Amino acid sequence: MSKKPTAPAGCPCGGPSLATCCGPYIDGSAIAPTAEALMRSRYTAYGQRNEPYLLATWHASTRPAEPIMSEEEKVQWLGLEVKSALRLRLRQRKADDADLTKDTVEFVARFKINGRAQRLHEISNFVREPAEGGDLRWFYVDGSFPE
Ligand SMILES: [Zn+2]
């Protein structure tokens, strides 16, 4: 493991810059076109403690009623890795993307809670549905944890 922290110049999710990556989805000026894009923007929103965005992108059937983030827990998000095998699979079926109504994204997120390093390996389930205004949007439903 390198001791160098990842440079904060790019998007927190690993993209080139916030303005060309997750920023437009989080500020509402664009709609995340894929489940992976939505997942990345949610990871970035966690780092920004942007609870309204997290709730807005959470499917109504599984959206938590309690606050997502606690004031006592200081979470520091360190990095996101979207599993490449899944990316390959997604690329292969790109032709069908416009018709997709369900998708999964497997990722590993690293973070520290109160100074303790943690690793989250999750396979997230997403659905795509018409939202308010009629636009098709991706929503996070739930996840499973392979480890
Ligand atoms: Zn991003």
Q: Calculate mean pLDDT across residues 130-138.
A: 89
* Residue 74 pLDDT grade (very low, low, confident, very high; cuts 50, 70, 90): confident
DSSP state of 130: E
Compute the distance from residue 43 Cα to the ligand 1 centre, in Å: 8
If you measure from the C-alpha of residue 4 to the centroid of ligand 1, how many angstroms do you get, rounded to a whole number?
20
User: In this structure, are residues 145 and 119 in contact, taking their beta carbons and an 8 Å threshold?
Assistant: no
Using the mean position of ligand 1's atoms as its centre, give its distance from the Cα of residue 67 in Å: 23
Helix (H, G, I), strand (E, B) or coil at 15: coil
Distances from the Cα of 69 to the Cα of 14, 46, 51, angstroms? 22, 9, 8
Is residue 131 over pLDDT 90? no
| d(CA 96, ligand 1 centre) in Å | 23
Distance from Cα 23 to the centre of ligand 1, integer Å: 7
Q: Looking at the DSSP assignment, which residues form a beta bridge with residue 106? A: 123
Can you read off the two tokens belonging to residue 21?
């990556």
Query: Distance, CA 20 to ligand 1 centroid (Å)?
Result: 8
1 alpha carbon – ligand 1 mean position (Å): 23
Over 64-78, what HEC string results?
Answer: CCCCCCCCCCCEEEE
Beta-carbon neighbour count of residue 37 at 10 Å? 20
For the residues 107-119, what does the mean pLDDT come to? 94
Which class is 18-63+72-144 in CATH?
alpha beta
Q: How confident is the model at residue 85 (pLDDT cuts 50, 70, 90)?
A: low
For the chain, the domains span 18-63+72-144
Q: Among residues of the chain, what percentage have pLDDT more than 70?
A: 83
pLDDT confidence tier of residue 87, bands split at 50, 70 and 90 = low
